[in-house]
């Protein structure tokens, strides 16, 4: 996803002289082609991330379409005040591209994990939150962000994530129906989609599988239309179990008095001290394909 996003930004820059890419001392290899092609529309602002946000807000005010690239904790957490006041408050069309969603950077430790970013980003009015599951969705997210007149936050992993579906609709604003089924629906976002698809291999009674790349605002009317003949929802995310898509769906069910049962799968809201790789972390926190499969089978009983 990461390479696809930068390649698409490079393509856009070739056709649009107002595209500007900035980073905070990250992405050296992946940004090389862009830097070589557009040296006058690229800046590495170093390990001064708050300044990077404010500087980019200034560029947006004079007409640039700015894309900011960095590891999520240094793009959103360290810079929350600047993102809030300089970008979101002024409703500037700046796109934050955050890499390392969830525990992508395992075993680098809690300083590099992004397991509460959606909960934090949801507190910011005017901010669109996108969490693509594969390279095709990531490309659609960049295309949406380029046209958007509002701030956009795109969270991605950093590896070669496999495609979760053959086709992806151009309209990334709606939940995407990956597989039809009945009785049970699995809702997910981000690179954990690979585990979801792996979990349903060989199922006789297939659940409905829905990818939700646009988390804020979420098109609930479109989602509800895709949940016909469904009584149980399972949300899966590589994010804290509280504060992410599971909480959004729970609030929706309560507000609209919907008849769905809900099971939330995610990372326990705690500081992570375990030292494991990404698959090991997914196993530890119950979001591996085997655990997802177990929960789906239980939901059908």
CATH code, domain carrying 281? 3.40.50.920
Residue with tokens 């996803």: 1
pLDDT values of the chain reduced to their tens digit, one per residue, 301 residues: 999 999 999 999 999 999 999 999 987 789 999 999 999 999 999 999 999 999 999 999 999 999 999 999 999 999 999 999 999 999 999 999 999 999 999 999 999 999 999 999 999 999 999 999 999 999 999 999 999 999 999 999 987 788 888 777 888 999 999 999 999 999 999 999 999 999 999 887 789 999 999 999 999 999 999 999 999 999 999 999 999 999 999 999 999 999 999 999 999 999 999 999 999 999 999 999 999 999 999 999 8
Residue 171 lies in a domain: no
- Phi–psi pair at 52, nearest 5 degrees: -60, -45
pLDDT the model gives residue 74? 96
User: In sequence order, what are the residues at sequence separation of 6 or more whose Cβ sits closer than 8 angstroms to the Cβ of residue 98?
Assistant: 70, 71, 72, 75, 76, 114, 117, 153, 154, 155, 156
Same domain flag for 12 and 61: yes
Same domain flag for 7 and 148: yes
Residue 167 lies in a domain: no
Question: Taking a C-beta distance cutoff of 8 angstroms, is the pair 130, 173 a contact?
Answer: no
Residue with tokens 């980073």: 23
- Phi–psi pair at 204, nearest 5 degrees: -80, -50
Same domain flag for 151 and 8: yes
Same domain flag for 223 and 145: no
Kindly state the helix (H) or strand (E) to which residue 124 belongs, with its residue range.
none
Same domain flag for 121 and 202: no
Residue 169 lies in a domain: no
Same domain flag for 183 and 226: yes
How many of the other CB atoms lie within 10 Å of CB of 77? 17
- Phi–psi pair at 192, nearest 5 degrees: -65, -10
Same domain flag for 99 and 227: no
Residue 112's alpha-carbon distances to 83, 239, 248, in angstroms, are 19, 13, 25
Residue 166 lies in a domain: no
Question: Taking a C-beta distance cutoff of 8 angstroms, is the pair 196, 292 a contact?
Answer: yes
The pTM for the full model equals: 0.96
Residue 236's beta-bridge partner residues?
A: 188, 265
Same domain flag for 143 and 213: no
Same domain flag for 194 and 140: no
Which of 98, 124, 156 terminates a domain? The answer is 156
Same domain flag for 197 and 130: no
Residue 163 lies in a domain: no
Residue with tokens 């949940």: 227
Q: Which domain holds residue 180?
A: 176-300
Residue 234 lies in a domain: yes
Residue 161 lies in a domain: no
Same domain flag for 69 and 27: yes
Same domain flag for 150 and 204: no
Residue 254 lies in a domain: yes
Domain containing 55 — which CATH number?
3.40.50.970
Question: Taking a C-beta distance cutoff of 8 angstroms, is the pair 283, 247 a contact?
Answer: no
Kindly state the helix (H) or strand (E) to which residue 268 belongs, with its residue range.
none
Distance, CA of 52 to CA of 87 (rounded, Å): 11
Q: How many domains does the chain have?
A: 2
**The two structure tokens encoding residue 44:** 């590495």
pLDDT tens digit sequence for 95-123: 999 999 999 999 999 999 999 999 999 99
Distance, CA of 110 to CA of 167 (rounded, Å): 35
Distance, CA of 18 to CA of 218 (rounded, Å): 29
Kindly state the helix (H) or strand (E) to which residue 199 belongs, with its residue range.
helix 193-199
């Amino acid at each position: 996803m990461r390479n696809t996003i930068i390649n698409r930004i490079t393509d856009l820059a070739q056709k649009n002289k107002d595209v500007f890419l900035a980073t905070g001392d990250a992405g050296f290899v992946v940004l090389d082609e862009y830097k070589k092609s557009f040296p006058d529309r690229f800046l590495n602002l170093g390990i001064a991330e708050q300044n990077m946000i404010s500087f980019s807000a200034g560029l947006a005010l004079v007409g640039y379409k700015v894309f900011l690239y960095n590891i999520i904790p240094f793009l959103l957490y360290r810079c929350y005040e600047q993102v809030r006041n300089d970008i979101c408050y002024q409703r500037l069309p700046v796109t934050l591209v955050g890499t390392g969603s969830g525990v992508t950077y395992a075993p680098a430790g809690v300083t590099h994990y992004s397991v509460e970013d959606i909960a934090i980003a949801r507190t910011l009015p005017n901010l669109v939150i996108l969490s693509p599951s594969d390279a095709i969705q990531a490309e659609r997210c960049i295309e949406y962000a380029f046209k958007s007149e509002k701030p956009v936050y795109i969270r991605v992993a950093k590896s070669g994530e496999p495609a979760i579906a053959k086709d992806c609709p151009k309209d990334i604003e709606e939940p995407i129906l990956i597989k039809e089924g009945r009785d049970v629906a699995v809702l997910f976002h981000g690179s954990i989609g690979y585990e979801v698809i792996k979990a349903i291999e060989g199922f006789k009674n297939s659940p409905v599988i829905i990818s939700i790349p646009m988390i804020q605002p979420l098109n609930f009317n479109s989602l509800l239309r895709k949940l016909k003949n469904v009584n149980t929802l399972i949300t899966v995310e590589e994010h804290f179990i509280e504060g992410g898509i599971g909480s959004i769906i729970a609030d929706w069910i309560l507000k609209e008095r919907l008849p769905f049962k809900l099971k939330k799968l995610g990372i326990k809201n705690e500081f992570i001290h375990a030292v494991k790789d990404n698959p090991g972390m997914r196993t530890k926190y119950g979001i591996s394909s085997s655990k997802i499969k177990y929960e789906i089978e239980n939901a059908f009983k």
